[in-house]
Amino acid sequence: MQLSHKLEADTIFPVCRSLLPQELWEKMVGTGDEFEPDKFPNTLALQSGNPGIPKYIADLARLERTLYKIGHNSPEFSSWEIDKIIANPNLDLLELNWKNLCSLLTREEKAPIKPEPGREMVMVWKPPGSERPKAQTAAYDDLLALKIVVEEIDPETAAVSGFPATAVDRAIDQAILKGILLSPPSRIRRNPSLFSTDAIIDERFLSAEVFTLQWHITQACDLHCKHCYDRSSRKAIPLQKALDILDSFHSFCRERHVWGQVSFTGGNPLLYPHFTELYQRASEQGFSLAILGNPASRETIEELLAIEQPVFYQVSLEGLQDHNDAIRGPGHFERVIDFLDILRELDVFSMVMLTLTQDNMEQVIPLAEYLQGRTDSFTFNRLSMVGEGANLKPADREKFARFLESYMEAAQENPIMHLKDNLFNILHTQKGLEPVGGCTGFGCGAAFNFLTLLPDGQVHACRKFPSPLGNILKKDLAAIYDSDKAEQYRQGCMSCRSCTIRPVCGGCLANAHSFGLNIFEEHDPYCFMLQ
């Protein structure tokens, strides 16, 4: 037998080869002038069931042949080439007469599941960006998603036909995550022409795959913090209108080809009278969920976990115990620490946020040291002097750069300390380090990859200062996002346009507002880029 025949057969059909005696294998591969891999499964089928040959060998050979084809002959495919969701061109569906054959392909140490007779649909595909193909039994949801997309069935029509709308959405979302469906690129994208030709332009910081709706669903709160941005009596939206807003946000995300996240906050979001129902619906619609609130009981968190585990639960501390309790009320520090223990025990990712002022700058790093091992993430926002926050003193601008330097040094030894402030990128640039995403992963993300929704339906570019764009009860979310006013916030400060780190910075519009500056003309007063 020609050596090339054996090498080709061993390469394309390695699992089949391992199941057959060597002499029999070489005989079946043959010694002709040309080995024909496409016909080899039929050759095996003629011998199936004979002594030493498993009955499922022909189906296994079909599966291995398809894996090899897709792994070696599939063209590279970019999402930029499509304008709607499509089936992965590098996908093949095999109808096999044996179940569990994919288990024989695994490289895991556990024993494969024994094949058994029975019809099974198997997907073989190459996910975008992957060098290796995958083979997996097609689940009902996989086939549903493929049918809807390939036959161009309107998802709403599919829902009317007996499939719950939430099931249709989840099936499509999961199929996109697997790579058996391909989605067009995100339409939440910055315009590179807005930046200097010398700017650090990295694709990671131009196109957002996730869009966040930060929803302040109630003004009700069990605290009265001294730096609260808004203690006004905004009336909360009734449940049905709130559910309608989720529908609107769902449509927005579908149209923009982004994953949606709803970050519930307040006030204290858990005090919204219909919070569980709203959380349930948001989960059913496939949004990732987060909570920015106050400490809660274990029973409350367990009730939410029965619906869906939040991607994070954020609480606030304003310094060490005495200072924090002077700002947030007696006993608050201990309640937060006890609550962090509950979150850790329930395996919920926890975040602690601090509002940076002149009075707590020296406590930030000691607090982070105290929290190491107690929380998963710690960071800070600079004080925005609006609402009751106008009564506190902002961080010292002369000391701010040195503070960031000390924070960065401490963060090298403390893994919970994250770099959220956009101005950390000045230090990274000076030190020749890779940029970080800053406040929202895209520097200032006001009206770019997030919007803020207040209890009464007002939509703002950023919650930390007045930046109204419209009311969602009167105007569609897409129209609000596409408005000229929202675009103005996205473009940010004109004086930052020529800055090389603008794509990952843009300063903080809320801080410029706090100091009475024209936020669209004058840059963040803490900026030390030119120093």
Q: What is the mean pLDDT of the chain?
A: 91
- Residue 85 has a pLDDT of 94
pTM: 0.88
Strand order in the sheet with 116-125: 91-99, 116-125, 134-137
Mean pLDDT on 37-58: 88
Give the model confidence (pLDDT) of 480-507 as tens digits: 999 999 999 999 999 998 888 988 999 9
Q: Are 63 and 123 in contact (CB under 8 A)?
A: no
How many other β-carbons are positioned within 10 Å of the β-carbon of residue 166?
15
pLDDT-based confidence at residue 31 (cuts at 50, 70, 90)? low
pLDDT at 200 over 70: no
- Residue 324 has a pLDDT of 96
The tokens for 104 are 């024989």
Instruction: Please state which of the ranges 158-172, 302-316, 467-481 shows the lowest mean pLDDT.
Output: 158-172
- Measured CA to CA, the distance from residue 380 to residue 358 in angstroms comes to 13
Q: How far is CA 91 from the centre of its chain?
A: 25
Q: What is the DSSP string of 319-337?
A: SSHHHHHHHH-TTHHHHHH
Grouping H, G, I as helix, E, B as strand and the rest as coil, residue 352 is strand
- Measured CA to CA, the distance from residue 33 to residue 35 in angstroms comes to 7
- Residue 162 has a pLDDT of 58
- Residue 336 has a pLDDT of 98
Give the model confidence (pLDDT) of 449-486 as tens digits: 999 999 999 999 999 999 999 999 999 999 999 999 99
Mean pLDDT on 77-83: 79
CB-based burial label for 95 (10 Å; 0-12, 13-18, 19+): exposed
pLDDT at 47 over 70: yes
Distances (CA, A) of 209 to 9, 180, 333, 481: 42, 18, 36, 16
- Residue 7 has a pLDDT of 82
- Measured CA to CA, the distance from residue 169 to residue 263 in angstroms comes to 20
Query: What are the residues facing 288 on neighbouring strands?
Result: 261
Mean pLDDT on 311-330: 97
Give the model confidence (pLDDT) of 403-447 as tens digits: 999 999 999 999 999 999 999 999 999 999 999 999 999 999 999
- Residue 232 has a pLDDT of 76
pLDDT at 241 over 50: yes
Q: Are 115 and 98 in contact (CB under 8 A)?
A: yes
pLDDT at 170 over 90: no
pLDDT at 149 over 70: yes
- Which position has the higher pLDDT, 74 or 110? 74
Instruction: Please state which of the ranges 317-321, 337-341, 406-410, 527-531 shows the lowest mean pLDDT.
Output: 527-531
How many other β-carbons are positioned within 10 Å of the β-carbon of residue 292?
20
Instruction: Please state which of the ranges 7-11, 183-187, 289-293 shows the lowest mean pLDDT.
Output: 7-11
Give the model confidence (pLDDT) of 83-100 as tens digits: 899 999 999 999 999 999
Give the model confidence (pLDDT) of 95-128 as tens digits: 999 999 999 997 665 667 899 999 999 999 999 8
- Residue 154 has a pLDDT of 79
Mean pLDDT on 193-214: 84
- Measured CA to CA, the distance from residue 341 to residue 368 in angstroms comes to 16
Q: Are 63 and 40 in contact (CB under 8 A)?
A: no
pLDDT-based confidence at residue 195 (cuts at 50, 70, 90)? confident
Mean pLDDT on 333-340: 98
Grouping H, G, I as helix, E, B as strand and the rest as coil, residue 380 is strand
Percentage of the residues of the chain whose pLDDT score is greater than 70: 95
- Measured CA to CA, the distance from residue 214 to residue 265 in angstroms comes to 7
Secondary structure percentages of the chain, helix, strand, coil, to 5: 40, 15, 45
Q: Are 433 and 209 in contact (CB under 8 A)?
A: no
- Residue 475 has a pLDDT of 95
- Which of 86, 280, 285 shows the shortest CA–CA distance to 168? 285
- Residue 530 has a pLDDT of 73
- Measured CA to CA, the distance from residue 32 to residue 30 in angstroms comes to 6
The tokens for 209 are 């795959």
Percentage of the residues of the chain whose pLDDT score is greater than 90: 73
Task: Using DSSP bridges, classify how beta strands 377-382 and 134-137 pair: parallel, antiparallel or unpaired.
Answer: unpaired
- Residue 1 has a pLDDT of 42
- Residue 107 has a pLDDT of 65
- Measured CA to CA, the distance from residue 383 to residue 394 in angstroms comes to 6
pLDDT-based confidence at residue 5 (cuts at 50, 70, 90)? low
pLDDT-based confidence at residue 129 (cuts at 50, 70, 90)? confident
- Which position has the higher pLDDT, 442 or 73? 442
- Measured CA to CA, the distance from residue 28 to residue 41 in angstroms comes to 11
pLDDT at 32 over 60: no
CB-based burial label for 365 (10 Å; 0-12, 13-18, 19+): middle
What are phi and psi for residue 456, nearest 5 degrees? -95, 10
Query: What are the residues facing 470 on neighbouring strands?
Result: 459
pLDDT at 76 over 90: no
